[in-house]
């Protein structure tokens, strides 16, 4: 029996996670996966009940589980609290405690939603890429870091540092993901300036020798940023460090134009992962059955593929989502200005996906 911990969180988190759970239950039943669900509090909900955004018991439960599915945390109610006890602290704490070193952010344009992008339709056509970002190292954590004063001038400094093991393990994640996709990895770097990028080049090349079925290219981060808006369809898997990945994953997300559609995964070693929609807790629409549950449902697809080794189940979820959109069903956030469509609610969208699921 594999345990899945559900952390709905705040705002629309519980609404979207309820739909994601229904889809996961349906798919796991159809494919004979034995799952056991445990629901716990995180973020503001946990602050209200227990005085802390994440309890140690919950971290322990997550450690013993196969995967965690998270909604979103935060909201105006907790905005004035001190930074170290705010809801977002729960997210940072769980990522750190569970050793989630690989952040996966797919950006795909579903044909029925191509018009939502700010890019021209012919550029958007065929976007289906995955940014694999190193999440626990690099310049965000490197030492020395700080601010000081030298010769009467204030300075600030950080250190971009990676060792070869950190680069090798994130590279392996990227190559493994490429095997589930179109077998191409682009390593994004700044090796013309940074020594640390030169190490990445060497190590990524070494890891690539174990994946002769996957092609590898290297791309400078500046030209990669340009190509992402000029010709995003050329990319399959992009692998890069924490800083470049932070920026490029948001850029890649934005070109799809649909925040409510974007899933993500953060992986540790051994197939354990935390899966969550990219969007936040959307307090402006919380509790009104208006949230788009598709990012959470697509996070379930990632969970099935990566932590439960059930690519058929993942494909069934993704194709159900595409079919529902192709049939014209839209939550309010997906309706373009000037379009005359009635919005479906969060629950009804979940119903449509369940009805469209083609499983054994």
Structure tokens belonging to residue 67: 């995967």
Catalytic residue among 246, 275, 290, 333: 246
Q: Which is nearer to ligand NAD, 307 or 331 (CB)?
A: 331
Q: Which is nearer to ligand NAD, 106 or 260 (CB)?
A: 260
Using rule CB under 6 A, residue 98 touches ligand NAD: no
Interface residue with ligand NAD among 291, 298, 317, 320 (CB under 6 A) is 291
Q: Which is nearer to ligand NAD, 123 or 263 (CB)?
A: 263
- Minimum distance from residue 169 beta carbon to ligand NAD (Å): 24
| Residue 148 CB neighbour total at 10 angstroms | 10
Catalytic residue among 48, 79, 202, 222: 222
Q: What DSSP letter does each residue of 187-230 carry, written as one string? A: EEE-TTT-HHHHHHHHHHHHHHTT-TTSEEEEEEHHHHHHHHHH
The alpha helices in the chain, defined as continuous H runs, are 13-30, 44-50, 56-63, 87-97, 121-124, 164-179, 195-208, 221-230, 242-256, 294-306, 311-326, 346-356
Structure tokens belonging to residue 129: 């890429």
Using rule CB under 6 A, residue 284 touches ligand NAD: yes
| Residue 124 CB neighbour total at 10 angstroms | 21
Phi/psi for 275 (5° steps) reads -120, 135
Interface residue with ligand NAD among 135, 236, 333, 357 (CB under 6 A) is 333
Q: At what angle do helices 195-208 and 164-179 cross, to 10 degrees?
A: 50
Interface residue with ligand NAD among 280, 313, 317, 318 (CB under 6 A) is 280
Alpha-carbon gap, residue 178 to 160, rounded angstroms = 26
Interface residue with ligand NAD among 106, 245, 260, 263 (CB under 6 A) is 260
Alpha-carbon gap, residue 135 to 133, rounded angstroms = 6
Which residue number has the CB closest to ligand NAD? 280
- Minimum distance from residue 76 beta carbon to ligand NAD (Å): 7
Q: Which is nearer to ligand NAD, 64 or 80 (CB)?
A: 80
- Minimum distance from residue 59 beta carbon to ligand NAD (Å): 17
Q: Is 190 a catalytic residue?
A: yes
Q: At what angle do helices 311-326 and 13-30 cross, to 10 degrees?
A: 120
Catalytic residue among 79, 231, 250, 284: 250
- Minimum distance from residue 246 beta carbon to ligand NAD (Å): 13
- Asked whether the beta carbons of 123 and 230 are under 8 A apart, the reply is yes
Q: Is 140 a catalytic residue?
A: yes
Residue for token pair 């932070």: 246
Structure tokens belonging to residue 76: 């105006």
Cα 167 to chain centroid distance, Å, stands at: 20
Interface residue with ligand NAD among 171, 281, 306, 307 (CB under 6 A) is 281
- Minimum distance from residue 41 beta carbon to ligand NAD (Å): 14
Q: Which is nearer to ligand NAD, 33 or 135 (CB)?
A: 135
The H helix count followed by the E strand count for the chain is 12, 12
Q: Mask 54-93, x = binds ligand NAD (CB under 6 A)?
A: ------------------xxxx------------x--x--
Using rule CB under 6 A, residue 259 touches ligand NAD: yes
Residue for token pair 């196969």: 66
Site for ligand NAD in 16-55 (CB under 6 A): 16
Q: Is 250 a catalytic residue?
A: yes
Interface residue with ligand NAD among 112, 224, 285, 349 (CB under 6 A) is 285
Q: Which residues carry out catalysis?
A: 140, 190, 222, 246, 250
* Interface contacts to ligand NAD, rule CB under 6 A: 12, 16, 72-75, 88, 91, 259-260, 276, 279-285, 291-292, 295, 331, 333
């Amino acid at each position: 029996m594999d345990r899945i911990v559900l952390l709905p969180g705040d705002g629309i988190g519980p609404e979207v996670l309820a739909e994601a759970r229904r889809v996961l239950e349906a798919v796991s039943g159809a494919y004979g996966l034995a799952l056991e669900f445990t629901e716990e509090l995180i973020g503001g909900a946990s602050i209200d009940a227990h005085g802390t955004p994440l309890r140690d018991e919950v971290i322990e439960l997550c450690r013993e589980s196969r995967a965690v599915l998270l909604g979103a945390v935060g909201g105006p109610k907790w905005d004035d609290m001190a930074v170290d006890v705010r809801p977002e602290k729960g997210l940072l704490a769980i990522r750190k405690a569970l050793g989630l070193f690989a952040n996966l952010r797919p950006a795909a344009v579903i044909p029925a939603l191509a018009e939502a992008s700010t890019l021209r339709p012919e550029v958007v056509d065929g976007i289906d890429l995955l940014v694999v970002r190193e999440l626990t190292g690099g310049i965000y954590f490197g030492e020395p870091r700080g601010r000081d004063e030298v010769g009467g001038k204030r300075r600030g400094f950080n250190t971009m540092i990676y060792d070869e093991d950190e680069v090798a393990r994130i590279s392996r994640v990227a190559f493994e993901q490429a095997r589930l996709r179109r077998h191409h990895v682009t390593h994004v770097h700044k090796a013309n300036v940074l020594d640390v990028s030169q190490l990445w080049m060497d190590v990524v090349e070494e890891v690539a020798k174990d994946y002769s079925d996957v092609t590898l290219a290297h791309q400078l981060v500046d030209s990669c940023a340009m190509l992402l808006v000029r010709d995003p369809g050329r990319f399959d898997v992009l692998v890069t460090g924490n800083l470049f990945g932070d920026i490029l994953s948001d850029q890649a997300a934005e070109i799809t134009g649909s925040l409510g559609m974007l899933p993500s995964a953060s992986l540790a070693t051994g197939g354990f992962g935390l899966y969550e929609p990219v969007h936040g807790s959307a307090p402006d629409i919380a509790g009104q059955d208006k949230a788009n549950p598709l990012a959470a449902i697509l996070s379930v697809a990632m969970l099935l593929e990566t932590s439960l080794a059930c690519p058929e189940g993942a494909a069934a979820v993704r194709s159900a989502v595409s079919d529902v959109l192709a049939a014209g069903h839209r939550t309010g956030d997906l309706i373009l200005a000037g379009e005359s469509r009635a919005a479906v609610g969060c629950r009804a969208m979940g119903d449509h996906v369940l009805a469209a699921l083609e499983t054994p």
